[in-house]
Structure 1
Amino acid sequence: MNHRQLDYFRQKLIQWKAALKKESEEKTREVLQSHVDADLTDMATREYDTDLTLQACNRNDELALEIDKALQRIDEGLYGYCEETGEKIGLGRLKANPVTLYCIEEQERRERQQKLYNSSDPYDEDL
């Protein structure tokens, strides 16, 4: 990957992380404000909304950590290479998912393996 492409992905990742942070801050602010105005009849709804907001914020935090790891891989010269095979990850795949760790072949292999693992339990359907 050339320098221009790395800069493109670095900026895309930084902007994505900033957008996630802003979204989490806005959601948190909205929840806090809704609790100020809440009465007892609205408390169940408010608690449900709070749980959803916290889940979204947690997902954003997890994604922000993945973004940090991708930025670190850029700094280390490892970005764009499959963590398992060392093969190049296609630019289209990186554009679609800039935090991906695996080339498409390795990701498909992992998904097949996971599917086999999950389907090997005959009692799994009963759960």
Structure 2
Amino acid sequence: MAKLSEQDILNWKGPEDDYMNPDHLAFFRDKLLQMKEELLANADLTSQHLQEQEATPDPADRATLEEEYALELRTRDRERKLLLKIDATIRQIDDGNYGYCADTGEPIGLARLVARPTASLSLEAQERRERLKKQFAD
């Protein structure tokens, strides 16, 4: 069978017991691997970019460059954390646990997973966590 497209996933209307079938899992594995590849390519570009920069004697230019570096490094740190989450999500696919809410065990939903393949909570569980977090923050 041909690989499923994002539109195939979003239009899927199969029976509940066919949720996260081998075709779905293959689609999400490919999507996660593609995300990982892009993040690793960005990290390589950042390393090259930081190594190519020359020192500048002007204090204002130097401050601007340092701020740009700091922003770039923060972005890469977020991406590094996302890489860890991608690897953990691929392990979930391998273990047969992918696509189900970590809190409730209910299906997360294909549309949510297409939008955020590393999601580990259903939309309802995520909203509940955010409400509780907000209550304790106030």
Instruction: Kindly state the Cα deviation for residue 38 of structure 1 after the two structures are TM-superposed.
Output: 2.6
Whether contact under 8 Å (1:31, 1:53) holds in the other structure is: no
Aligned to 2:72: 53
TM-score normalised by the chain length of structure 1: 0.88
State the structure with bigger RCO (CA 8 A, min sep 6), 1 or 2: 2
How much is the aligned-residue C-alpha RMSD, in angstroms?
1.0
For structure 2, the 5+ residue unaligned runs are 1-19
User: Are 1:6 and 2:22 matched, yes or no?
Assistant: no
- Alignment-derived partner of residue 88 in structure 1: 107
Following TM superposition, by how much is the alpha carbon of 1:43 offset from its aligned partner in structure 2, in angstroms? 2.1
Deviation track 1:56-95 (CA, whole Å, cap 9, x = no partner) reads 1111100000000100000000000001111111000000
Q: What residue is the counterpart of 2:97 in the other structure? A: 78
Number of aligned residue pairs: 117
Unaligned runs of 5+ in 1: 120-127
Matched, 1:108 2:136: no
- CA–CA separation in structure 2 for the residues paired with 1:47 and 1:16: 28
TM-score for the superposition, normalised by structure 2:
0.81
Identity %: 40
CA deviation after TM superposition for structure 1 residue 44, in Å: 1.7
2:55 is aligned to 38
Q: What does the per-residue CA deviation read over 1:11-54, in whole Å, with 9 as the maximum and x for residues that have no partner?
A: 000000110111121122112212xx232213222211111111
| Counterpart code for 1:95 | V
Kindly report structure 1 stretches of 4+ aligned residues shifted beyond 3 Å: none
1:22 to 38, 41, 45: 41
Determine the C-alpha separation between the residues in 2 that align with 1:10 and 1:84: 22
Q: Larger deviation: 67-76 or 23-32?
A: 23-32
Counterparts of 1:40 and 1:75, CA distance in 2: 53
Which one has the bigger helix percentage? 1
**d(CA) in 1 for partners of 2:124, 2:89:** 20
